[in-house]
Amino acid sequence: MAQDFFRIQGLSGARTLSGTVTVGGAKNAALKIMAASALFSDHVELRNVPEIEDVNRMAELLQGIGMTIERGTNTRTIRLPQVLNSSLPFGPAQAMRSSIVLTGPLLARLGRVSFPNPGGCSLGNRPIDLFIDGFKRFGATVKEEGESYVVEAPHGLRGMEFFFKVQSHTGTETLMMAATLAQGTTVLKNCALEPEVKSLADFLNACGARIVGAGTPTITIEGGSLLSSQSRFYETMPDRIETGSFMILGALAARELVIDGCVPQHVEIITEILRSAGVRVDVGERSITVYGTSSLSAVNVRTHEYPGLPTDLQSPMAVLLTQAQGESALFETIYEGRLGYTKDLVSMGARITPQDTHRVLIQGPASLSARTVKAPDLRAGMAFVIAAIVADGESIVENAYVIDRGYERITERLSAIGVDIRRN
């Protein structure tokens, strides 16, 4: 599976794609609800679940600690045993960054959790200090045993006050979930504002949690007992990163592309950047229509926590800037290792000049030529797919598996709007 690759016939800069692409459920919402199942006394049902590899990996993790997963088409039902294992399976947990969010619910429920340093995409330094500091503030002890951390709170977690030195949506969600079973009141400050955080809190509240302020910088949680879904189910919100990816593709390669089933308010920053670059974007209640243009203008962009430009859309945005007239500055403010993919865009003909580990200058428009490139991570992999669609000739994008981690049935969906793409 890891050896799969995409073979893409480029459009040589033509804007011929058209049709409608429907946005799937949000990866970063589904994964957090799956992790939150450890807070429940009964089953948890998820709908509109994206059929992607990260969901499969999270299911492996949950099964590894004793849960049962019933799988349907874009649905998952998670059933809990009487006894849960407090140790995350080493291999799956180490390979997946999102495994860290499972540690909070398990610690709160069992009073103990052990886990390896989580992995995932190679994006530079991604420390887990926020999580460790938060667990200690709850009153837990943290020890390193070999390659694993062992966190223990045999008498339960105690409510506390915690200020995030850096906004972190995984940190916010992990400590928020842990606090739902802690004794007393927890106040989290400088919290992440991502809509996935509020979506998680809303579902937990519907099932018995007492969380106030999710979606704002300060979240207050009154601890309580195990949650119960009863007859409720979680409807996974649309994926805003997928929405933004298709918006950028439409601006580069479509006559008219409708992105349906999305939440336009979640991608307002992408809409504004595209409009600043000269792209016509029409916004509906649950859809966005993008009209490709051959006269893109340079624009300076910087990643920022929500509602700013998501770091996950920085690499697709870089492809857009290679086709804009003039010089654009791109500033990655969150991960220092996330611009490494640009050397592959340069091999395709892009004119990108590194300034430091966080900044590049992009001169456009540049004619991109077909190349064989290997996706280094999920989002850069999608950027390479977009670049290959724009380029002249047939490109190979290797390591298709990492793109499968976040984009469901990408070959079929792109083919449906006119992309010549095959999977080998």
Name the active-site residue from 121, 191, 207, 262.
121
Is the distance from CB of 183 to CB of 160 less than 8 angstroms? no
Is the distance from CB of 25 to CB of 56 less than 8 angstroms? no
SS3 310: coil
The distance from CA 167 to its chain's CA centroid, rounded to whole angstroms, is 15
What is the C-alpha to C-alpha distance for residues 91 and 84, in angstroms, rounded to an integer?
18
Reading the block at residue 194, the tokens are 């991502």
Q: Which helix (H) or strand (E) holds 105?
A: helix 103-110
Is the distance from CB of 331 to CB of 361 less than 8 angstroms? no
Is the distance from CB of 406 to CB of 241 less than 8 angstroms? yes
How many Cα atoms are found within 13 Å in the side-chain-facing hemisphere of 115?
A: 32
Active site residue 191: no
- Torsion angle of C-alpha atoms 375, 381, 385, 391, degrees rounded to 10: -60
* Residue located via tokens 């990816």: 245
Q: Which helix (H) or strand (E) holds 280?
A: strand 280-283
- Cβ neighbours around 156 below 10 Å, total: 16
Q: Identify which of 316, 350, 309, 348 has the alpha carbon closest to the alpha carbon of residue 332.
A: 309
* Helix 27-36 with 195-206: angle, nearest 10 deg: 30
Is the distance from CB of 88 to CB of 61 less than 8 angstroms? yes
Q: Identify which of 67, 73, 82 has the alpha carbon closest to the alpha carbon of residue 34.
A: 67
Residues recognised as catalytic: 121
